[in-house]
């Protein structure tokens, strides 16, 4: 049995896609959803069983707990978690957590890194910057996580065109479609040991 957890700060639509992809897989358990945001949509999605009957507990944590204690590292170690999946998680992963789960944390970034990465480049800000820069393509990057925002080894990228008439919302839609098409599969491939750092 391989165990994963998902960290999410917002709507949680990627978390839901992953949940729906692995439900029924006897070898994979989604053990826990962790969020820093008590108002995150991912909490409601989890309470609804991700609309696929998958019941997953949710842990809401605050900044001092995350950055000044080892409670989360200890919890994840005690549960023998194999993979930490960031899906719209907006806080920097603290060095102690990166170290404790070296090569076992992955993130999805809604741009073609190294473009449009780093602090402040998240969610809708990215799509606005992409349109403002007149980019003709953008995409997604799935990568291992290190102590710096958006800098770990790249696992997978996929691109989509940006039309001159596209608004940031149009770009967001295309990006979500790419994320849903690829992130769940890549998560399972990493869990199955097919991809390593
Ligand atoms: C996703 O597009 C994800 O790539 C992005 O936030 C969105 C979350 O959507 N992540 C980042 O910007 C991380 N820097 P979701 O909550 O519906 O999955």
Tell me the pLDDT of the chain (197 aa) as tens digits: 999 999 999 999 999 999 999 999 999 999 999 999 999 999 999 999 999 999 999 999 999 999 999 999 999 999 999 999 999 999 999 999 999 999 999 999 999 999 999 888 999 999 999 999 999 999 999 999 998 889 999 999 999 999 999 999 999 999 999 999 999 999 999 999 888 87
Q: Which residues pair with 154 in a beta bridge?
A: 143
Indicate the top mutation candidate among 16, 108, 143 to test ligand 1's pocket, ranked by most ligand atoms within 8 A of CB. 108
Q: Is the CB of 187 under 6 A from ligand 1?
A: no
pLDDT at 129: 97
Task: Identify the CA nearest to 139 among candidates 182, 187, 195.
Answer: 182
Q: Is the CB of 117 under 6 A from ligand 1?
A: no
Indicate the top mutation candidate among 42, 121, 123 to test ligand 1's pocket, ranked by most ligand atoms within 8 A of CB. 123
63 is in an annotated binding site: yes
Considering the domain 2-107+142-155+178-191 in this protein, what is its CATH number? 3.40.50.170
pTM for this predicted structure = 0.97
For 100, other C-beta atoms within 10 Å of its C-beta total 17
Q: What are the residue boundaries of the structural domains of the chain, listed by start?
A: 2-107+142-155+178-191
Residue 89 Cα to ligand 1 midpoint, Å, equals 7
Residue 124 Cα to ligand 1 midpoint, Å, equals 9
- Interatomic CA distance for residues 143 and 152, integer angstroms: 6
146 is in an annotated binding site: no
When computed from its CA atoms, the radius of gyration of the chain, rounded to whole angstroms, is 16
Residue 77 Cα to ligand 1 midpoint, Å, equals 26
Q: Write the burial class of residue 64 (CB in 10 Å: 0-12 exposed, 13-18 middle, 19+ buried).
A: exposed
Residue 1 Cα to ligand 1 midpoint, Å, equals 27
Q: Which residues contact 180 (CB under 8 A, 6 or more apart)?
A: 13, 14, 17
36 is in an annotated binding site: no
């Amino acid at each position: 049995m391989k165990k994963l957890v998902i960290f999410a700060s917002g709507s949680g639509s990627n978390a839901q896609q992953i949940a729906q992809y692995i439900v029924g897989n006897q070898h994979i358990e989604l053990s826990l959803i962790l969020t820093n945001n008590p108002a995150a949509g991912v909490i409601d999605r989890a309470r609804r069983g991700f609309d696929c009957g998958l019941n997953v507990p949710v842990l809401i944590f605050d900044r001092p707990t995350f950055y000044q204690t080892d409670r989360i590292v200890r919890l994840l170690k005690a549960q023998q978690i194999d993979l930490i999946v960031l899906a719209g998680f907006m806080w920097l992963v603290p060095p102690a957590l990166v170290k404790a789960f070296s090569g076992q944390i992955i993130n999805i970034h809604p741009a073609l890194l190294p473009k449009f990465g780093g602090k402040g480049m998240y969610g809708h800000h990215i799509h606005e910057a992409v349109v403002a820069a007149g980019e003709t393509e953008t995409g997604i990057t799935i990568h291992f996580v290190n102590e710096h925002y958006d800098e770990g080894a790249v696992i997978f990228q996929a691109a989509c065109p940006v039309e001159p008439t596209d608004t940031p919302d149009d770009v967001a839609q295309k990006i979500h479609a790419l994320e849903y098409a690829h992130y769940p599969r890549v998560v399972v491939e990493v869990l199955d040991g097919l991809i390593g750092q």
